[in-house]
């Protein structure tokens, strides 16, 4: 697992934040009542930028600078997640993002700082603005919601070159 702080420049980060949750945004978010498993007690809003080996959104190109900084040889899925703040902490179940591919990577890029986090079997990563966590895609992990602010992140599943 690698943790990269200040992964993108501040101007680009600000542009992405304004697009996704700025005061005048009209960005299309879609509701999902669970995260990885229907038994999850954590809901979120999502937007699929890329899936089935092709762009899935007209907004994909705005995220390419961030995505291609990982130097992927192939993308599997790129998904934006927005978790509204909750009155108490909610956790998803432990999961892998992709079940039908063996050797892939997962990267989580946090767009804002909040008291939510991601739990791994032996580690907890805080949601810190402009931090990217890159790990083996077969590593089990779970999302934990935030009680102080929304939690916004980009989840990238890819094949490493």
- Among candidates 67, 61, 52, 50, which has minimal Cα distance to 19? 61
pLDDT tens, the chain, 161 aa long: 999 999 999 999 999 999 999 999 999 999 988 766 777 767 889 999 999 889 999 999 999 999 999 999 999 999 999 999 999 998 888 999 998 898 999 999 999 999 999 999 989 999 999 999 999 999 999 999 999 999 999 999 999 97
Q: What is the largest CA-CA distance in the chain?
A: 42
User: Residue 53: CA atoms inside 13 Å, Cβ hemisphere, count?
Assistant: 4
Alpha carbon distance 154, 56 (integer Å):
15
For 17, the enclosing helix (H) or strand (E) is: helix 10-21
How many helices and strands in the chain, by DSSP H and E? 2, 11
Alpha carbon distance 158, 104 (integer Å):
6
Q: What is the DSSP string of 53-89?
A: TEE-STTGGGGHHHHGGG-EEEEEEEEEEEEPP-SS-
Full-model pTM: 0.94
The CATH classification number of 2-22+31-160 equals 2.60.120.620
What pLDDT does 43 receive?
A: 80
């Amino acid at each position: 697992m690698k943790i990269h702080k200040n992964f993108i420049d501040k101007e680009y980060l600000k542009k992405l934040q304004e697009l996704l949750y700025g005061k005048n945004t009209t960005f299309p978010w879609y509701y999902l009542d669970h995260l990885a498993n229907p038994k999850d007690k954590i809901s979120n809003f999502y937007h699929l930028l890329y899936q089935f080996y092709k762009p899935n959104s007209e907004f994909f190109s705005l995220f390419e600078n961030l995505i291609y900084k990982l130097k992927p040889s192939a993308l599997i899925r790129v998904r934006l997640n927005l978790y509204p703040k909750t009155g108490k902490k909610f956790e998803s179940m432990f999961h892998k993002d992709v079940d039908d591919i063996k050797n892939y990577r997962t990267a989580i890029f946090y767009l804002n700082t909040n008291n939510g986090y991601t739990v791994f079997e032996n580690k907890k990563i805080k949601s810190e603005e402009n931090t990217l966590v890159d790990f083996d895609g077969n590593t089990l992990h779970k999302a934990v919601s935030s009680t102080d602010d929304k939690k916004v992140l980009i989840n990238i599943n890819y094949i490493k070159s």
